[in-house]
Amino acid sequence: MVEIKRKNVLLPGPVDVPDDVLLAMSKPIINHRGAEFHELMKSIENKAKAIFKTKYNVLVLSSSGTGGAESAVMNVIRPGDKAIVPVFGEFSWRLANQIDQARGRAIRVNAQLGTAPAVDQIEGAIKEHRDAKAIFLVYNDTSPGTTYRHAKELGELAERYGLYYVIDAISVFGGDELPMDDWKADVVVAGSQKCLMTPPGLALVGVSDRIVELAKKDPPYSTYFSYANYVDFLSKFETPFTPAIPLFYALDVALERIAKIGIDENIRRHRVGASAYYKAFEAMGLEPFVVEQYRSNVVISIKYPQGVDDMKFRQTMDEEYNTVITGGFGELKGKIFRIGNMGVIEKSRILPTIAAVGFSLRKLGVNANVEEAINIASAELKQLEVK
């Protein structure tokens, strides 16, 4: 048997999973059409609706986050349908491609990496394509570490122009503000392995009644991802197909953790953690990649100082400080490193990570002021002690 060393995993997902969440997966397998599963599903649904801040159904799909995003595309888009898509990173680019692959037409509103399209640019695209059916937004694109801070305004635009509004919140749900009903979203997709601190393999999808009606009147080209089918089965607290039962147990425990402190407090903790990282790294002389307006609270992306090798830096972090972070990819490969500020937000995780970054840079010849960075972050993190 291979021994696996437990590391401090600070990827933009999957994230470290709390022990009680992991242990929940050791429970016995049960009948997914029986009373025990009905109670489990009811518990998940009630807590999920409170976190989504919705009166509508929240579906749980046994799939990755990408499967959740594809489910939204399949249930909304039919051949020839146009959808407005702000594109400002790898994952918003992928979402636009998913729409095209579903035989729809993605109208891309592009922005330079590290920024995001303005609301008036989105409205301009809507006016130019009056026959558009929906707006599809990646709320937080993990590749540059960019959060779209006008998600609420896009909901208002969608309502004004009679469009469906879909939010891919896979990487940010639970870590930043997203009241589904208040923001007039028809679909919100969340992933289990990010801020919901559950192992990979589940997608949670909030679906409005009008999306379900669309799926009933004009069924999607998918059996597995039909929202109407999931809603019918949810009425008896079941899923239409065999669920990943151990992951459902884990999700229930994770949602209970969030419910105990409240979703608003959970979001506040992510903001405090992000602030500590940004201020500490700036004290080291490092520069955030994303302009301040759009910086993510859940993915901290930092430019490498000149001359620092991405692989050597991250290898030092891993081998000498037992800390796993990631670099950039695509256009950003070798230019930035990224830290996931997701799930369990604690001083005991953040300060050692900041120290590991600073000391690793020193080993590579960068004069990073680690001590000042730790002092600044410590002061910021005192807010975690106050509810």
| CATH number of the domain to which 298 belongs | 3.90.1150.10
Same domain for 143 and 124? yes
What integer best gives the mean pLDDT of the chain?
96
Q: Per-residue pLDDT tens for 178-199?
A: 999 999 999 999 999 999 999 9
Domain boundary among 210, 238, 261: 261
Mean pLDDT confidence for 137-161: 98
Task: State how far the Cα of 255 lies from the Cα of 51, in Å rounded to an integer.
Answer: 8
Residue 20's pLDDT is: 97
Mean pLDDT confidence for 85-91: 97
Task: State how far the Cα of 190 lies from the Cα of 169, in Å rounded to an integer.
Answer: 5
Residue 228's pLDDT is: 97
Mean pLDDT confidence for 300-316: 97
Same domain for 80 and 166? yes
Same domain for 130 and 252? yes
Residue 97 counted as domain residue: yes
Task: State how far the Cα of 162 lies from the Cα of 129, in Å rounded to an integer.
Answer: 13
Task: State how far the Cα of 156 lies from the Cα of 152, in Å rounded to an integer.
Answer: 7
Residue 314 counted as domain residue: yes
Same domain for 219 and 343? no
Same domain for 171 and 34? yes
Same domain for 357 and 249? no
Confidence of residue 226 (pLDDT cuts 50, 70, 90): very high
Query: Is it the case that residue 387 has pLDDT exceeding 60?
Result: no
Residue 40 counted as domain residue: yes
Query: Is it the case that residue 45 has pLDDT exceeding 70?
Result: yes
Residue 321 counted as domain residue: yes
Residue 9 counted as domain residue: no
Domain boundary among 209, 242, 261: 261
Residue 133 counted as domain residue: yes
Mean pLDDT confidence for 204-222: 97
CB–CB of 216/223 below 8 Å?
A: no
Domain boundary among 239, 261, 283: 261
Residue 7's pLDDT is: 86
Task: State how far the Cα of 317 lies from the Cα of 10, in Å rounded to an integer.
Answer: 11
Query: Is it the case that residue 299 has pLDDT exceeding 70?
Result: yes
What is the number of structural domains in the chain? Answer: 2
Query: Is it the case that residue 292 has pLDDT exceeding 60?
Result: yes
Same domain for 145 and 29? yes
Residue 385's pLDDT is: 85
Residue 29's pLDDT is: 97
Residue 180 exposed, middle or buried by CB count within 10 Å (0-12, 13-18, 19+):
buried
Mean pLDDT confidence for 162-184: 98
Same domain for 233 and 267? no
Same domain for 124 and 255? yes
Residue 140 exposed, middle or buried by CB count within 10 Å (0-12, 13-18, 19+):
buried
Give the domain range for residue 337. 262-385
Same domain for 97 and 213? yes
Q: How far are the Cα atoms of 67, 85, 190, 212, 293 from residue 71, in angstroms, in the given order?
A: 6, 16, 12, 12, 30
Query: Is it the case that residue 316 has pLDDT exceeding 60?
Result: yes
Confidence of residue 38 (pLDDT cuts 50, 70, 90): very high
Same domain for 255 and 284? no
Residue 386's pLDDT is: 64
Same domain for 266 and 122? no
Residue 174's pLDDT is: 97
Place of tokens 């999931």: 230
Read off the CATH number of the domain in which 141 is found: 3.40.640.10
Residue 5 counted as domain residue: no
Residue 338 counted as domain residue: yes
Query: Is it the case that residue 2 has pLDDT exceeding 90?
Result: no
pTM tops 0.85: yes
